[in-house]
Amino acid sequence: MKAALRLAAVVVLTILAAGCDDEPTQRKAFIAFLQTRIIDKPGLHVPHLTPDEAKSFGGDYAKQYAIITDFNDGLDQSVAKPMQEALQHGAMRSINDVVTRRADFIAFRDGVAQLRATLDKQLADADAAHAALKQPEDLKPVFDQAYARDVTIPAKAFADIFPDLSGALNALAELGEFVDEHKDQVAINGSMLQTSDPVLQAQLTELIAALSAKNDALNRATQRLRAVETGS
């Protein structure tokens, strides 16, 4: 019986030792993955682990990487896709849209606030999980750099778009409201809004200039986001 117990103890210790010996190898593989698949590549790259990669890292490091992939999956489904729909449906395709689609622009503008709240919540959850990690000294700076590339930087790029998108939609709504309030004095002529009243013309010009400025700001923010995604 004692011999059997000693044998069992040896087996347990051997298993534990093997597990401990695997950690440096797993960590080395994880560091190499973060460096070559994310950090060394331009732009935004968030590869999902293959079964072999997950096995080579071990369960703990695979869970750590899941902080990055889970954030990006949520960003894509809950923020990026709805925002793209807002950009597409919220675009003014003709001057008639200023009047006929004013309610749509208001609804899209209000929806942007919800998207921002969703992004803030997802980023806060990811940051909290990241801060709670206890990582070896050789892994931490590499993981932090990969986290910044795939979480912090794209989150900021998306966050920077929201004020400009809201502003552009709000400017559209305000212009539509003005035209509707003065529909007997403001006429749609082709792609232009015109009025014979000098006072109204000055107000109309100011509203159109504000819309143009907001659209320009939105275009610049969108270009910055594309630069983050492509690395260009």
Cα–Cα distance, 66 to 42 (Å, whole number) = 21
CA–CA distance from 8 to each of 17, 20, 21, 22, 209 (Å)?
14, 18, 20, 21, 81
Residue ranges of the domains in the chain?
29-35+47-230
Q: What pTM does this model have?
A: 0.80
| CA–CA distance, 121 with 127 (Å, rounded to integer) | 10
Provide, rounded to the nearest whole percent, the portion of the chain with pLDDT above 90.
38
Summarize pLDDT for 59-68 with one digit per residue, the tens: 899 999 999 9
Pick the CATH number of 29-35+47-230 from 1.20.1070, 1.10.287, 2.60.310, 1.20.120: 1.20.120
Backbone angles phi, psi at 42, to 5 degrees: -75, 150
What crossing angle do the helices spanning 102-131 and 59-75 adopt, rounded to 10°?
170
pLDDT in tens, 183-221: 888 887 777 888 888 888 899 889 888 888 888 888 888
- Torsion of the alpha carbons at 188, 192, 195 and 199, rounded to the nearest 10: 140
Dig out the tokens for 152 from the structure: 């912090």
